[in-house]
Structure 1
Amino acid sequence: MAPGRPLRESAKPAAARHRRSDSQTDRRLRDGGKARTSTAARRRRRIRRVPLADGTHRLHVVLIMLAVAMSLCAGRLLQLQGFDSSAYAAESAAALTQRMPLLPSRGDITDRNGTVLAATEPAVAVTADPSLTGKQPGAFAVVIAPYLGMTVEELLPLLTKRDTHFVYLKKQVPAMTYTRMAAALAEQNLYGVFRESDPIRTYPAGSLAGPIVGFVDGDGTGKAGLESSLQSQLAGVEGQEEYESAPNGSKIPLGDSKITPAQNGYDYQLTLDSELQWVAQRRVAQQVKKAKADFGFAITMNIKTGEILALAQAPTYDSNDPKSSLKKHRNLQAVTAPYEPGSVQKILTSAALLESGHAGEGTRVSIPNRLPSGPYLIKDHFEHSDDYRLNMRGVIAKSSNIGTAMLARQMPIDQLHDYLAKFGLGKKTGIELPGESLGTLPDADMEPMTRDRVAFGQGLAVTGIQEVSAIAGLLNGGVYNPPTIIKSATDSDGKQVALPVREPRRIVSTTTSAHIRDLMRAVVDNSSTGKYSLRLDGYTSGGKTGTAQRGTARGYQGYITSYVGFAPLKDPQIITYVVVNNPKKGDPTGTQVAAPVFRDIMQYALPRYSVAPSKKAVLKPKPISW
């Protein structure tokens, strides 16, 4: 404090100074500090601070959060390794497991002497992994093009295909060709081309028995003939290979693998004789061409067993190239196409009359020139007097429609029906070929007019296999053998496979059978001796001609000509039935169109099967009239 100034005066200025100082500060805060105040406010608005407790509390929160996270991880780990470990392991293994089919070898088909009719040639489908081949597509294409018969331009898009590890390059490549190609790729250190089993079905005999053997499609599935009806047995059972693979799909050399072997298909041996089949096939084709017919077929059967020795038809097709033929020619006409049999049917009518006792070989018939039947008149194929006298043997020898209808009227209609059904008409024979038809047999309450027509071969429909089997049974001492075209079957180990057994059955007595043979002998005995003789050289035989009007959607147009015959007479061994449909050139009769084919086939077949010639090839004819 300065001397001379009073204390009260010195104090006032100090308080004043403090007040001034405060007011100045307020002014600075109001004026000069406005910018700083707004800046601080903005900072306070941008920075959001969460108030926390002290450090210990913050540590507890962090530890709790870590404990929850670790608990979740531990629970998931326990689920994966404790409870669901096997499921996830299996899922992981499945993702890395590849499965490749192992295709079985399709069974062979041979004839009765072992001649191969259908076989399987080893072949492969060539595949590629574009993720590997796409790096050097040009190098791959240049190497493999000559082996696959493809151009480089065709291969490049396949070898470079995106977003896939698998493409087919070509199917059914011979196995040896692939082996040589694989060696060429290995020399160039090119890896990415693989193979799958894809065998080729071949038919060494070509068109021989084509409709019987059939063919397979591109997938190896039977589409016709025995290839179709025996599909499951011939195809076998597919196997499988499982192995662990790397992510790129390649096999892990030491990884787990499992193989389920494929079961190869059965091999089938047929009853067919290839050489006899060739003779029959050629002869039928010649006659169809000569007569300008729609088609024809011939069936040769062992009477004692029911075995089919030949089943030929024309037109036919090559099983190696079925697409070059018309679809209708791929069906077996003798099995799938019913027709009205005509006069050959008179043999079955005669058997019913003989077996029932309503007529005998010597039964006399006075035959008018015309026979009323409902609103129609029945006539014969030849003109005769109004009192034409024939016995039953003569009715068959002359093939009289009127005489047959008159004899059939001697028995009840339902009885005739029952006998024809017993002989196998109106139902399948059960032969092992696809598409067999039932044919058509009128009911037991058919009209009398229908009965008259059925007696001589109209008003019903049969298949060739039905008709020949029935007649063979009548000749075989009255015992019917179900027709068969399969002789035996073996599995992949060469063991015999049991085939379905169809037992023979008696259809007529031995006495009736002998009479039938004699009736059919009368046809041969009374045939001409010239160009169209029905006799066989060196053998006694019997037969029956057939010339039926051909039924179409527009009514009867043209004819179906046929001839059935057997030899030897006393102990029948072989029967052949020939049918030529709608011949347009020459005389359309069974004698002139079908019988010559029968003779040529039988003259080859009889000595081939060691059938001894007859001591008396020509027998004295028995009377046919009275």
Structure 2
Amino acid sequence: MANRRNRRTRLALVFCGVVTLALIVQLLRVTVLAQPSYANLAQQEAQTTVTLPGLRGSIIARNGEVLAMSELRDTIIADPLLIKHPATEAVTLAKLLGLASAQVRHALSVPGGYSVVAQLVTRSTGSKIESMALDGELPGINVEPGQARYYPAGSLAEPVVGRVGANDNGLFGLEYQYQKLLAGRNGYEIQRTASGNLPLPNAVVKRQPPIQGKSLKLTIDPALQAYAEQAVAGEIEKTNAIGGTAVVMDVATGQILAMVSLTAPPLPGAKPLANGGQPVDVQRALPTESWTNQAVAYAYEPGSVAKIATFTAALQDHLITPTSSEVVPGRLVIDGSVFHDAEPHPTEVLSMGQILAQSSNVGTIEIARRLGPARLLASFERFGWGEPTGLAFPGETQGLMKPVSQWSPTAIGSTPIGQDQLVTPLQVLDSYNAIANGGVMVTPKLVLGTVGSRGHLHAFASPAPRRIVPANIDAEMIHLLSGVTGANATAPDAQIPGYLVAGKTGTSQKPLHTQAGYQMGAYWGTFVGMVPAQHPVLSAIVMLDQPVPIYGGMTAAPVFSQIMRYALARYGVTPSGSIESSMLPRVSRSVASRSRE
């Protein structure tokens, strides 16, 4: 009996010992062995990550004026599940945000745990709201840092500068082209927080600073850009055109000083007049910035400005001289198609200068037929027609120059006079700028380079200039083109008092979109030129879409004159071609100067 009682006691003691040991092991596991993991979990639960926005770089004009910039802004976020008194909080927030209290109360009362109260709030206001939220005055309110893009010059040069979307990604223009350079990189802070997400003293555990995007410095002159936009807009309204484009270039450097793209779409149902444009009594919208940069994205049949290719090639191959003459019939029939001049005339003898000054299609075609398709096409290609300009602008087209194997039987008549081809206004200007630059082609440029945090310019490299026309032929071409702005020529309205202007007009009919042939009464009017002709400093092109009257010499040429008068005065360009102003810094005049020796 005693032995049995002792056995039970021992078993009970063993059981109690085992249980006690198990409890001790479990206690050690929970309190000692698991301490690091629990401490890690506790630390994670008491930390929060705060985004530090990396500002997008600015876009700056050549004179330092800011065209696009980003600023830090806050977004006010509410968690309605944590807000017990939305009416009271709404009154307080509304005063801080300058909003209607009813609007704020609605944002605080929506179902769910997330509601945007206000966006693009200044950092000072955001900081006040954040402090009040941390102090418990505005429970359920959070502040998220961010940034906003601003365009201090408004819509000035919008097709060039571009715009960004809600996520700060470039949508078009330079904002899109240079997205990787402009975009900033966000940083972050990891902070220790107490109950209620309140930051503790010395709360920053880790910090990765944000990186600001690089800023771009452009070649655009805001004052000239604004003046050119006004001039083109005025002519669009005056001629009832549906759009207009203008580009002004520094001859020696290829820097684009102004690039205008405006549109004035007609009202739905408005029909064009027989001679182009829209009825003057139709209520039209005022010209606005185009959705696209028409100077590079709009390819058109340019008309007689294309005659530069025929004349330079014929001069270079000694088929003509500046003083030679050509028998010009009233009309030509090529494979059943009739080619004629703008004004009817009998067979006559015209000098080379008269053929260009009067823009004789028949005279140009006769020269081109002696030149032949292969040499004519090679001349266009030397001028860069049908090839990328090197600007690499988003949406830019290289146009179309058909190979000789695809020429129709009538192409030898249509191609020399600016039909059967597609070219952009910038490509046309590039070719005439090469003539202005002594026969040397320079790549057009819109961006000078990036600007560092200390304001230093890191210039982008430019392709080397290349000669495309011999210097002596170039001088002969400038002499011939100077006659185009004479009193009895096609563009006397391009004249500038005290300066000699050289250039060319173009008037071309718009083709049908869905079938062969041309639109009745729809034309483009173009003038492209350089000034002063003796030693060109500036070149420019103006193109109007469906103006009335239709002729480039009557519509585009006056705008060229108006813009160039302003530019010449602004940059202090004398009639001899010297520059008396520091507003147009030059890389070098040596290339152009040597080319005329």
TM-score category (smaller protein):
0.7 to 0.9
Give 1:281 shift. 0.8
Counterpart secondary structure, 2:393: coil
User: Contact 1:171–1:198 (CA<8 Å) still a contact in 2?
Assistant: no
Q: Please state if 1:304 is matched with 2:268.
A: no
Q: Please state if 1:391 is matched with 2:351.
A: yes
Give 1:592 shift. 0.9
Give 1:614 shift. 4.8
User: Contact 1:363–1:391 (CA<8 Å) still a contact in 2?
Assistant: yes
Equivalent residue number for residue 360 of structure 2: 400
Q: 1:251 to 1:155 in 2, by over 3 A?
A: same
The match for 1:594 among 553, 556, 561 is: 556
Q: Please state if 1:580 is matched with 2:544.
A: yes
Q: 1:556 to 1:409 in 2, by over 3 A?
A: same
Q: Please state if 1:489 is matched with 2:438.
A: no
Equivalent residue number for residue 238 of structure 2: 290
The match for 1:541 among 474, 496, 501 is: 501
Equivalent residue number for residue 126 of structure 1: 76
Q: 1:499 to 1:63 in 2, by over 3 A?
A: same
Q: Deviations over 1:101-131 (max 9, x none)?
A: 2112222223222223223344321234546
Counterpart secondary structure, 1:410: helix
Equivalent residue number for residue 55 of structure 2: 105
Residue type at the aligned position of 1:525: G
Residue type at the aligned position of 1:603: R
Mapped to 2, the partners of 1:373 and 1:91 lie a distance apart of 88
When normalised by structure 1's length, the TM-score is 0.79
Residue type at the aligned position of 2:102: E
Mapped to 2, the partners of 1:74 and 1:355 lie a distance apart of 99
Q: Please state if 1:275 is matched with 2:223.
A: yes
Q: 1:506 to 1:189 in 2, by over 3 A?
A: same
Mapped to 2, the partners of 1:242 and 1:356 lie a distance apart of 74
Residue type at the aligned position of 2:54: P
Counterpart secondary structure, 1:547: strand
Give 1:514 shift. 0.8
Q: Please state if 1:145 is matched with 2:101.
A: no
Residue type at the aligned position of 2:59: I
Counterpart secondary structure, 2:190: strand
Mapped to 2, the partners of 1:444 and 1:230 lie a distance apart of 37
Q: 1:339 to 1:315 in 2, by over 3 A?
A: same
Mapped to 2, the partners of 1:400 and 1:500 lie a distance apart of 42
Q: Please state if 1:250 is matched with 2:212.
A: no
User: Contact 1:243–1:258 (CA<8 Å) still a contact in 2?
Assistant: yes
Equivalent residue number for residue 20 of structure 1: none
Counterpart secondary structure, 1:452: helix
Mapped to 2, the partners of 1:103 and 1:289 lie a distance apart of 45
Residue type at the aligned position of 1:99: T
Instruction: Decide which structure has greater strand share.
Output: 2
Give 1:339 shift. 0.5
Q: Please state if 1:211 is matched with 2:155.
A: no
Residue type at the aligned position of 1:374: D
Q: 1:89 to 1:381 in 2, by over 3 A?
A: farther
Equivalent residue number for residue 350 of structure 1: 311
Q: Which runs of 5+ in 1 are unaligned?
A: 1-52, 318-323, 616-626
Residue type at the aligned position of 2:85: Q
Q: Deviations over 1:525-579 (max 9, x none)?
A: 35359x9543220001211111011123154121101111211122111112110
Q: Please state if 1:454 is matched with 2:415.
A: yes
Mapped to 1, the partners of 2:473 and 2:528 lie a distance apart of 18
The match for 1:136 among 79, 85, 88 is: 85
User: Contact 1:427–1:439 (CA<8 Å) still a contact in 2?
Assistant: yes
Q: Deviations over 1:14-37 (max 9, x none)?
A: xxxxxxxxxxxxxxxxxxxxxxxx
Counting only pairs closer than 5 Å after superposition, residues 605-620 of structure 1 correspond to structure 2 as 605-614=567-576
User: Contact 1:527–1:534 (CA<8 Å) still a contact in 2?
Assistant: no
Equivalent residue number for residue 270 of structure 2: none
Mapped to 2, the partners of 1:316 and 1:225 lie a distance apart of 20
RMSD: 3.3
Mapped to 2, the partners of 1:534 and 1:220 lie a distance apart of 43
Equivalent residue number for residue 292 of structure 2: 331
Give 1:56 shift. 3.8
Q: Deviations over 1:14-72 (max 9, x none)?
A: xxxxxxxxxxxxxxxxxxxxxxxxxxxxxxxxxxxxxxx85545655665676677668
Residue type at the aligned position of 1:518: H
Mapped to 2, the partners of 1:489 and 1:588 lie a distance apart of 42
Indicate the larger mover: 175-184 or 469-478: 175-184
Mapped to 1, the partners of 2:264 and 2:205 lie a distance apart of 49
Q: Deviations over 1:119-163 (max 9, x none)?
A: 33443212345465x133332211111332433333335435676
Mapped to 1, the partners of 2:61 and 2:339 lie a distance apart of 46
User: Contact 2:339–2:362 (CA<8 Å) still a contact in 1?
Assistant: yes
Equivalent residue number for residue 379 of structure 2: 419
Q: Please state if 1:220 is matched with 2:168.
A: yes
Q: Which runs of 5+ in 2 are unaligned?
A: 1-6, 266-284, 578-597
Q: Deviations over 1:220-248 (max 9, x none)?
A: 33223222222222222221222233464
Mapped to 1, the partners of 2:555 and 2:26 lie a distance apart of 95
Q: 1:594 to 1:325 in 2, by over 3 A?
A: closer
Q: 1:162 to 1:565 in 2, by over 3 A?
A: closer
Equivalent residue number for residue 272 of structure 2: none
Q: 1:289 to 1:162 in 2, by over 3 A?
A: closer
Give 1:489 shift. 2.2
Q: Deviations over 1:165-218 (max 9, x none)?
A: x54321101334445666888999445544233333222222322222222233
Equivalent residue number for residue 533 of structure 2: 569
Equivalent residue number for residue 501 of structure 1: 462
Residue type at the aligned position of 1:598: F
Q: 1:414 to 1:294 in 2, by over 3 A?
A: same
Q: Please state if 1:518 is matched with 2:479.
A: yes
Residue type at the aligned position of 1:126: I
Q: 1:78 to 1:109 in 2, by over 3 A?
A: same
Mapped to 1, the partners of 2:75 and 2:18 lie a distance apart of 64
Equivalent residue number for residue 622 of structure 1: none
Give 1:434 shift. 2.2
Mapped to 1, the partners of 2:151 and 2:18 lie a distance apart of 81
Q: 1:548 to 1:168 in 2, by over 3 A?
A: same
Counterpart secondary structure, 1:445: helix
Q: Please state if 1:175 is matched with 2:135.
A: no
User: Contact 1:106–1:234 (CA<8 Å) still a contact in 2?
Assistant: yes
Residue identity (%):
32
Larger Rg: 1
Number of equivalenced pairs: 548
